[in-house]
Amino acid sequence: MPETISFYFDFVSPFSYLAHQRVPGLAQRFGYALDYRPIDLRAAKLLAGNTGPATRDMPVKLAYARKDQQRWAKRYGVPIKAPISHDWSRMTRGAFYAIDRGQARPYVAHVWHHIWGQGGEMNDGVWRDAARAMGWDAEAFAAFTEAPETVKRLEASTREAGARGVFGVPTIMIGDEMWWGNDRLDFLEDYLQERATAAVGEGVGR
C-alpha cells in the first residue's frame, strides 16, 4: 500500500483551490495516495482558539489577499475570481459522497472551478451540475448533503483535524509532518524528494 498524503480543505478557501492545482501532481509523482479530508474551516479555527475575523471582513488584508491570489493563479495558469457566495458548506459535505465513490479528485476539481475559477454563486444549479458531471442521481446527492449523518461526519472530520493540529486550510499532512498554506508546497516537495532519495539509497523501491 502506498503512503498517504492527507489534504485538509474547505471549499470556502481560495488558497485550498490554488494548492489543489499542485498537490495531486506531487502525490502522483512521488507515489503517494491522496486522502481528501473535508473540514469546516470556521469550526477548525475556533477549535484552535482563533476567534479573529475572516479575511473578507478586513478590507486592507482582503485587498492584499486578492492580489496574492491573482499572482498564484497566474503562476499555476488557472483563473481565479471571488465567488458571490461564501457559504459552500453543502458542497463541502458533498465531498464525502464523492469520497465514498472514489471520485474525490474530479468532484473537488469541478466544484472549485465553479467557485473560485468562475466566481460562482451557491444555488441549486451548483449541486445539480456537480451531480450531473459525476454521473450521480442529483436528488440522492442533494439528500446526502443535507442528511444529519453527513453533517455529523463533517463535524467529526473537523474534530479529527483539530486533534492532529490542523488550524487552517489548506493543510497537508504525512504522518505527523504538516504544511499549512499553498505557499508551503515547495517545502512539501523538498520533503518528498528527500524521502525518495533516502529510499533509493537504502535500496527500498517505492
Q: How far apart, in whole angstroms, are the C-alpha atoms of residue 110 and residue 95? A: 11
105 SS3 class:
helix
Burial 95-133 (b: 16+ CB within 10 A, else e): bbbbbeeebbbebbebbbebbbbeebebeeebbebbbeb
Contact indicator for 33, 4 with CB cutoff of 8 Å: yes
Q: Which one-letter DSSP state was computed for residue 118? A: T
Q: So which residues are the catalytic ones?
A: 13
Length of the chain measured in residues: 206
